[in-house]
Every structure is written in structure tokens, then in C-alpha cells.
Amino acid sequence: MGDVRVSGTILVLMVSYCSGSIICDKVDVAEIEGDVISVCYNQGSKEIKCLRNESLQVKQFLQKAHVSKDGDDRNADYRSCVEKFNDELYDVGECLLNASGVHQKMAYQAAIMEVLEECSQKRYCILESDTSSTIHGLKDLRVGERKKRPSHLVVLHQCVKEQVPSVMLCDSKTKTGKEVYISSNRLKMSSLETSNCTCTVSGAVSRVTLLDVRLGNSHVTTLSIRDKTRKVYTIQGGDQAVHFMKEIYISQPEWSLQMDVIRDYLPDKIWMRLEGNY
């Protein structure tokens, strides 16, 4: 891949999984930044829509649980889709990190993968909560110290203007700008004659953000960020691993992004943003 000249930052997001019996911290509603949509586990569907020149970026997953007025959570109806001011939110990521049950991990992972598949880097998506959806499968995973049954999955998201310059990974082009997006294309990757491709980034101090990286279920698929002396960050596939909203700062004036792939194990999605000071 050709040189990508960026005043650059790449953002990286990582996901965790939650167990029904694991204690997760409540989220302070005042600290939530971005748009939220609540999908009730017992009713219908919700849609998310951006403007024509924007793409959906999923930032965080939360569970919502009702709290009764008298403080006795046994009186709170988890089947109700009516949202109230005193509803509690729990961070799915932290729940996943603490989870030990395979069933709970798989349930959260499946729901997260479904939301990302439907919405990430799209202009419009619909999230279903009927019994055939993986989102519905989260309703029995209890949260908090009192092990409350949640009523909604809350998806924190924002619409971002994915304007030029942008780069397709493994495409031999050069782009320059304060902000550059890099995406993957499975068709182009499948036609590669080699098993790897490299982007060279030069510019000021860079912040790297992986907006949505799903490398698939093979450990042979890897994505590495290197400066001139060492690997700064490396992630690999396996068990449908998902990485999003984790930031990496690189102070070197030049660094590289390398993707190692095998045609039979192409990544499901790579979407990242590079930002710099110019």
C-alpha cells in the first residue's frame, strides 16, 4: 500500500463480555457522550440513521435495568419497555472482562457482533429485538450487585463525516490530511498476490483509533502497528475477537501499519481513523 501522509491518529476499540452473576459498575449517565438508542428486549425494533455523507460509529454497549421507587428491585418489572429517569446503566465491556461463564460470553459476543455487522460504517440500520435476534438473548444476563434482569440493550453511537481523504487497506494510493480513514475491502484482499500489505504513515504525533476491527476467527490474521524500532501494538483474530474505541499514541515521525492475511481467513472488518497535528 502506498504512503499515507497524515497528521495522524488511529483509534482502537476493544470489547469485553458480561456474565449474569458478575458484578459490573454502574455507568454515570452524565458521563455519556454521544447519541443513545435503547432496544427493549420485549418489543419491536429501533432504527439508527445518519445523513448522506456520514457513517455510523458504534462507541459503547450498555445494559439498562429498571429500579423500583421503593428501592425493592423485586417490584421492578424487567419486561417493561417504558424507560424511566432512575433506570440504571451497566457497562457491557466491564461485565465481559469479569465474566467466567462461556454461555454469557458467547451471548454478549453474538449480540455485539450483530449490532456491528448491521450498523458499523453504515448510514442506516435497524436493530431487531425479537426472539430470533441475538440481542434478545441478553435479557436473562443479570447485572449489578443485586443481579437485576436488564430490560434494554443501549447502543451508544455517533454519526461521523467520513470525508476524503480515505484509504482502502492494501490499495496502492497516497493520501494527505489531518484526518484519514482506512477501511478494508474483502474482495480486494482476496485478490492479493502476497499475504500482507503495509501502509506507511508520516507526519506529526499520531493518534490511532480502531473504530471497528473484526479480524475473524483465525489466529493467523494479524494487524500490527510499528515504529522504526519495535511493534507498538499488535492484535490478531481468534474467537471472533472484536476491537474498538481504544486509542494509541505514536510519537515517531514515521510508522507503519501492517496487515497479514490468508485468503481463506480474511478479516471481517477493518475501519480506523488516523489523526495528526497538521
pLDDT tens, residue by residue, 51-91: 988 999 999 999 999 987 665 565 678 889 999 888 999 88
Does the pLDDT of residue 7 top 50, yes or no? no
Check residue 55 and give its pLDDT: 92
**271: confidence class by pLDDT, cuts 50, 70, 90:** very high
Domain boundaries, the chain: 3-12+163-275, 16-161
Task: Say if domain 3-12+163-275 classifies as CATH 1.10.600.10.
Answer: no
Does the pLDDT of residue 137 top 70, yes or no? yes
Does the pLDDT of residue 138 top 60, yes or no? yes
Does the pLDDT of residue 224 top 50, yes or no? yes
The most confident of 70-79, 86-95, 121-130, 189-198, by mean pLDDT: 121-130
**130: confidence class by pLDDT, cuts 50, 70, 90:** confident
Strand partners, 39: 153
Does the pLDDT of residue 122 top 70, yes or no? yes
> Between the CA atoms of 165, 171, 174 and 179, what dihedral angle is there, to the nearest 10 degrees?
30
Check residue 62 and give its pLDDT: 92
Does the pLDDT of residue 106 top 50, yes or no? yes
CA pair distance 197, 248, nearest whole angstrom: 20
Residue by residue, DSSP assigns 67-104 as --TTS-GGGS-TT-----TT-EEEEHHHHHHH---HHH
Cβ distance 18 to 111 under 8 Å? Answer: no
Does the pLDDT of residue 199 top 60, yes or no? yes
- Residue-wise pLDDT for 14-52, tens only, equals 233 333 345 567 888 778 888 999 999 988 789 999 998
Does the pLDDT of residue 227 top 50, yes or no? yes
What value does the mean pLDDT take over residues 183-210? 82
CA pair distance 173, 269, nearest whole angstrom: 20
What is the identity of the amino acid at 60? Q
